[in-house]
Amino acid sequence: MPATGARPLGTSDEKDAALAVRQMFDSIAPRYDLLNHILSANVDRLWWRKAACRFRAILGRPEAAILDICCGTGDLTMALLKLRPSGAQPILAGDFAPAMLRRGAEKFGPPHLRKWRRLKPGAPYAIPLEADALHLPLRPESLDLIVTSFGFRNLADYDAGLREFHRALKPGGQLGILEFSEPGGLLGKAYALYFRRVLPAMGRLIGGKDGPYSYLPTSVGSFPPPQEMLAMMRLAGLTDCAWQPYTFGIAGLYTAVRPPVT
């Protein structure tokens, strides 16, 4: 049966699944960045930069309305901000896990939320927004770009998420979904061994928790493969749907457009 949404162990419906995911990510927020960089050997930084560069044209427009949803601690948000011009409209950075969002705001937020460095006058920043990707608190047709990295597969309903993105995008607006995938061949077998055995053990050792890093390989394994995901995007009314693999297909960027009015 095709995957319809994330289902952490012990959950029976969408509401329980969403609550479990929120609690899971709030629990690992303090060590989330450290774990991600160690477990990916810092390749994740390259993925965020490549994804941001794909939307350089929109990011370069000062008036563009942009949302990074499921932003976590804001690594993709920071990559997006590096391509925004001085004085640009702030990016919206949304997540439904408040502990994750607070840590992200210390990096990407306006001056009064920054923890480590001050902003120069006119420097681009993001506004933290506690929001559920399935119920965005935004007007229809209000965004030029929606991006999300490694959060879409955690939604309790993938179809509903895509329809909500379609609703919030302006005609001609663009969508980018950066997600893990499972490569094939010998590389895929080696990666599966690391992902299902080594990664959870390292997560427990460094983070002191078992559940989140045991959930990760399960969530990736049950996520739709690229062709199925592209079909779902088309059914949601999106066009120009494509998938660009990163690092031999370990991750990849899905892109699409809400059709312009004709």
* Digit-coded pLDDT (tens) for 171-203: 999 999 999 988 877 777 777 777 777 777 776
The tens digit of pLDDT for each residue in 46-76 reads 999 999 999 999 999 999 999 999 999 999 9
> What whole-number distance in Å separates Cα of residue 77 and Cα of residue 206?
25
Q: What is the pLDDT of residue 207?
A: 58
Asked if the model's pLDDT at residue 9 lies above 80, the reply is: no
> Is the separation of the CB atoms in 121 and 157 below 8 Å?
no
Q: Quote helix, strand, coil % in the chain, to nearest 5.
A: 45, 20, 35
Whether 9 is covered by a domain: the verdict is no
Q: How confident is the model at residue 210 (pLDDT cuts 50, 70, 90)?
A: low
> What whole-number distance in Å separates Cα of residue 109 and Cα of residue 112?
8
Whether 6 is covered by a domain: the verdict is no
Q: What is the pLDDT of residue 2?
A: 52
Whether 44 is covered by a domain: the verdict is yes
Residue of 249, 233, 237 lying closest to 148 (CA atoms): 233
Whether 239 is covered by a domain: the verdict is yes
Asked if the model's pLDDT at residue 205 lies above 80, the reply is: no
CB atoms within 10 A of CB 224: 17
Whether 3 is covered by a domain: the verdict is no
> What whole-number distance in Å separates Cα of residue 113 and Cα of residue 99?
14
Asked if the model's pLDDT at residue 1 lies above 60, the reply is: no
Residue of 102, 152, 155 lying closest to 130 (CA atoms): 102
Q: Which residue has the higher pLDDT, 205 or 96?
A: 96
How many domains does the chain fold into? 1
Whether 4 is covered by a domain: the verdict is no
Q: Under 8 Å CB-to-CB from 248, ≥6 apart: which residues?
A: 183, 187
CATH assignment at residue 18: 3.40.50.150
Domain hosting residue 210, numbered range? 14-257
> What whole-number distance in Å separates Cα of residue 243 and Cα of residue 249?
10
The tens digit of pLDDT for each residue in 85-131 reads 999 999 999 999 999 999 999 999 998 898 777 788 899 999 999 99
CA atoms within 13 A on the CB side of 40: 20
Whether 193 is covered by a domain: the verdict is yes
Whether 30 is covered by a domain: the verdict is yes
Q: What is the pLDDT of residue 96?
A: 95
Q: Which residue has the higher pLDDT, 86 or 14?
A: 86
Asked if the model's pLDDT at residue 209 lies above 70, the reply is: no
Q: What is the Rg, in whole angstroms, of the alpha carbon atoms belonging to the chain?
A: 18
pLDDT > 70: what percent of the chain? Answer: 93
For the chain, the average pLDDT equals 89
